[in-house]
Amino acid sequence: MSTLITNIAELMTQDAEHRVLRAAAVVIEGERIAWLGAAEDAPAADEAVDAGGRALLPGWVDSHTHLIFAGDRTAEFEARMAGESYSAGGIAVTTGATRSTSDFDLTRLAMGRVAEAVAQGTTYLETKTGYGLDVENEARSARIASTVADEVTFLGAHLVPAGMDAGEYTELVCGPMLSAVRPFVRWADVFCERGAFTEDQSRRVLRACKDAGLGLRVHGNQLGEGPGVRLAVEFGAASVDHVNYLSSADIDALAASWSGWDAGTGRHGTVATCLPACDLSTRQPLAPGRELLDAGVQLALASNCNPGTSYTSSMAFCVTTAVLQMRLSVHEAVRAATYGGALALGREAGNDADGERAVGSIAVGHRADLHLLKAPSATHLAYRPGIPLTHAVWRAGVRAR
């Protein structure tokens, strides 16, 4: 089955050449993109969709979410808006609610959140464990996550549960918990921050998870300067996420991780993932996305959808904020929310590990993950803040909205 999408006013490919085509068309064949170019040259297909002079982008790649949870933290949010500061301790509230929720309900809740994201243009999505915090509940979260998300990350090292010794808990994470989640996850993460895991504990977790064959990510430098970025680069993590408080040495280390990078080899540096919705919801300073890009760091934007610090799955909101507040251009922000997310997940074009699953850019052979805006150009994402601009979504070639 093939589908021709034609009469596209602006086709933002986010491909290797950063091409933006006008008066364009795309052909989908099964799950993949089979052709793109000038609308007047388009081949015939089984069906045709008139884009009506709208803009077409790659679907959003949301590389950082925490969707496996139950419960509500409205009261904590209200307290924060009244002047309280965020601390990692709120994670325990969600852990309690999550543990007492059935598999069926946890799955239903997570599926609802994924559906909400897809309806807003997200076509590839990572999610994490981290609200189980014991062997049984982390394994259960990982199993459920693997049924609802494209990529799953083990975040047993999210918070030391109340009443447990931090050292003993770290050993539990690195031993029985890691073994129990291993069949369901591709990535591991650690919340390296005051109030969560120290540098030594984080190092222990990263080493064990790397030895177990997992790719690495780090929650780092969210609440203050610290060792997160340094550790992420040292361990060759695919991404370090939050990055609000960076020293010049941190920025230099991230930039150095990309020196000599050759797009298409699959081997690359550490992506800095900015989470602007989280920054606003926690009243932290926005991550220095402009400075990172100017230094040569590859950037991703992600929603960080979770009940504590960022209860939104809106990637468009993140893009809008990145343009209006972080001083990214529209093209840079869209790139970070599509290709950047793919890079952070090792799913970019040319990644030798899994070339078949290239997402985050529109090119022949890539997964047909497409987002048709209710607007003639991507600029409208920033020009019309807060307006829902998703007109249609294709996920792996299937019309999802």
In the complex, minimum distance from the CB of residue 117 to ligand NIG, in angstroms, rounded to a whole number: 16
State which residue, 99 or 219, has the beta carbon closest to ligand NIG: 219
Residues 328-387 that bind ligand NIG (CB under 6 A): none
Nearest 10 degrees: Cα torsion 67, 69, 73, 77: -20
**338 in Cβ contact with 61 (< 8 Å):** yes
Q: Tell whether residue 281 is a contact of ligand NIG (CB under 6 A).
A: no
Tell me the residue length of the chain.
Answer: 401
- Tokens 């970019």: give the residue: 348
> Residue with the closest Cβ to ligand NIG?
308
Measured from the CB atom, the residue of 91 and 362 that comes closer to ligand NIG is: 91
Sheet with 20-29, edge to edge strand ranges: 32-38, 20-29, 2-12, 47-58, 370-373, 390-395, 398-399
**Contacts with ligand NIG in 65-84 (CB under 6 A)?**
66
Least separation in angstroms between residue 188's CB and ligand NIG is: 14
Q: Please identify, using beta-carbon distances, which residue of 309 and 320 lies nearer to ligand NIG.
A: 309
- 306 sits near ligand NIG (criterion: CB under 6 A): yes
Q: Cβ(337)–Cβ(319) under 8 Å?
A: yes
| Residue owning tokens 């076509």 | 123
User: What residues form DSSP beta bridges with 49?
Assistant: 5
Closest to ligand NIG by CB, 308 or 340: 308
Measured from the CB atom, the residue of 123 and 306 that comes closer to ligand NIG is 306
Scan for tokens 């030895």, then name that residue. Answer: 211
- Of 226 and 307, the one with the shorter C-beta distance to ligand NIG is 307
According to the binding rule CB under 6 A, does residue 95 interact with ligand NIG? no
Instruction: Name the one range near ligand NIG by CB under 6 A: 20-28, 29-37, 248-256, 307-315.
Output: 307-315
CA separation for the pair 294, 9 (Å, rounded)? 30
Site for ligand NIG in 218-257 (CB under 6 A): 219, 222
Contacts 24+ apart (CB under 8 A), 326-330: 326/274, 326/276, 326/286, 326/287, 326/288, 326/289, 326/290, 327/289, 327/290, 328/289, 328/290, 328/293, 328/299, 330/378, 330/379, 330/381, 330/382
Q: Which is nearer to ligand NIG, 54 or 230 (CB)?
A: 230
CB of 343 to ligand NIG, least distance (A): 19
Q: Which is nearer to ligand NIG, 215 or 308 (CB)?
A: 308
Please report which residue ranges of 157-268 form alpha helices under DSSP H: 166-172, 178-181, 199-211, 228-234, 248-257
CA distance 173 to 401: 39
3 state SS of 359: coil
145 binds ligand NIG (CB under 6 A): no
Other C-beta atoms closer than 10 Å to the C-beta of 211 total 10
- Among positions 308, 341, 346, 397, the unique one binding ligand NIG when judged by CB under 6 A: 308
User: Considering only residues 26, 36, 55, 90, which one is a binding residue for ligand NIG as defined by CB under 6 A?
Assistant: 90
> In whole angstroms, how close is the CB of 3 to ligand NIG at the nearest point?
37
Rounded least distance, CB 105 to ligand NIG, Å = 18
Q: Which of 191, 235, 245, 394 binds ligand NIG (CB under 6 A)?
A: 191
Residue 137 in contact with ligand NIG, rule: CB under 6 A: no
Q: Contact residues for ligand NIG (CB under 6 A)? A: 66, 90-91, 94, 191, 219, 222, 278, 304, 306-309
